[in-house]
Amino acid sequence: MLLLLSLIWGASFLFARVAVLEIPPLTLVLLRVGLAAAALNLILLFMNNGSAGSLKLWGSFMIMGLLNNIIPFSLIFLGQKEIGAGLAAIVNAMTPIWTLLIAHVMTSDERLTTNKSFGIALAFIGITVLIGWAAFEGFKGAVYGQIAVLGATVSYGVASVFGRRFADVAPIETARGQLTTSTVVMLPICLLIDQPWTLSWPSTSAVWSVILLALVSTAFAYILFFQILARAGALNIALVTFLIPPSAILLGILILGETLAIRHGVGLVLILGGLTFIDGRLVKRFTNRKTAGDNAIK
């Protein structure tokens, strides 16, 4: 299930890359959240499990939708007008780094340790290598795109901390709530700025990309995510962060013919290395083995 989720979320960068070349980013955000919200509302209606909730709860859903959908989706789609699916997924792997930093500042029970601090430093070196010296030469297309996606990861990090307040809400209700409120917010923005009725009809591949992005990579992915969360816990589902970039890179190469520079591979290794230290389990296992070996020698 974890591999399937990583493939689905890796494919979301592929679908977005195809769609955003023909559909403006804000319109694409509206289509993604709107179709996904409709699907989840229908599922909950069919399950007879669509509780209304309080106005305060729906206000929180709206804030969550802003942080977890509207801002990051807009920035990612904006960035993907300039960069490919694989590169966008690599930059997106910075999300847990920001989550940890923001949680350290905003909460009292998520503090930085030596290993986590080292992991964060390693990941930031990775993102520096990834973007390269071009960042100091002005905002060229690729740099602009990578920074936009990086901005999305900051928003995701804030959303992860804010989302802790929904611990007692059914996960699918949280998903439905944030997607529904995101649709309500995005509709007037999209009508005012993009004026979608003036746009030409996109190609068949772009239309299918939108449908798959909304129904598979958003609505179904949320359901799958929460199933894994219930069965394996938050620590194990965090492993999807390691698996999304390879999935997106492979799909980008096979389907879109994308290529990555050497520095992109080095940056990916450094970021994933940082995530390994933050996750801690592999480091702990290695340390325990070393300690056991030393004791055996003694």
**How crowded is residue 125: how many other Cβ atoms within 10 Å of its Cβ?**
16
Is the predicted pLDDT of residue 178 greater than 90, yes or no? yes
**Which pLDDT tens digit goes with each residue over 95-124?**
888 888 888 888 776 777 888 888 888 888
Residue that the structure tokens 């709860």 belong to? 57
Contacts of residue 296, defined as CB under 8 A and 6 or more positions apart, other chains included, come to none
Please compute the mean of the pLDDT values over residues 284-291 and round it to a whole number: 64
> DSSP alpha helices (H): ranges in 47-84?
55-65, 71-79
Q: Which amino acid is at 68?
A: N
Closest CA to 271 of 85, 9, 94: 94
User: Which of 1-10, 28-37, 128-137 is modeled with the greatest confidence?
Assistant: 28-37
Q: Residue 79: pLDDT band by 50, 70, 90 thresholds?
A: very high
In contact, 200 and 27? CB cutoff 8 Å:
no
Do the Cβ atoms of 92 and 244 come closer than 8 Å? yes
Residue 52 is part of which domain span?
A: 2-297
Model confidence, pTM: 0.86
List, in order, residues 6 or more apart from 9 with CB less than 8 Å away: 217, 221, 240, 244, 247
pLDDT at 181 over 90: yes
10-64 pLDDT, tens digit per residue, is 999 999 999 999 999 999 999 999 999 999 999 888 877 656 678 889 999 999 9
What is the number of structural domains in the chain? 1
pLDDT one-digit tens code per residue, 208-263:
999 999 999 999 998 888 788 777 766 677 678 788 888 898 999 999 898 888 88
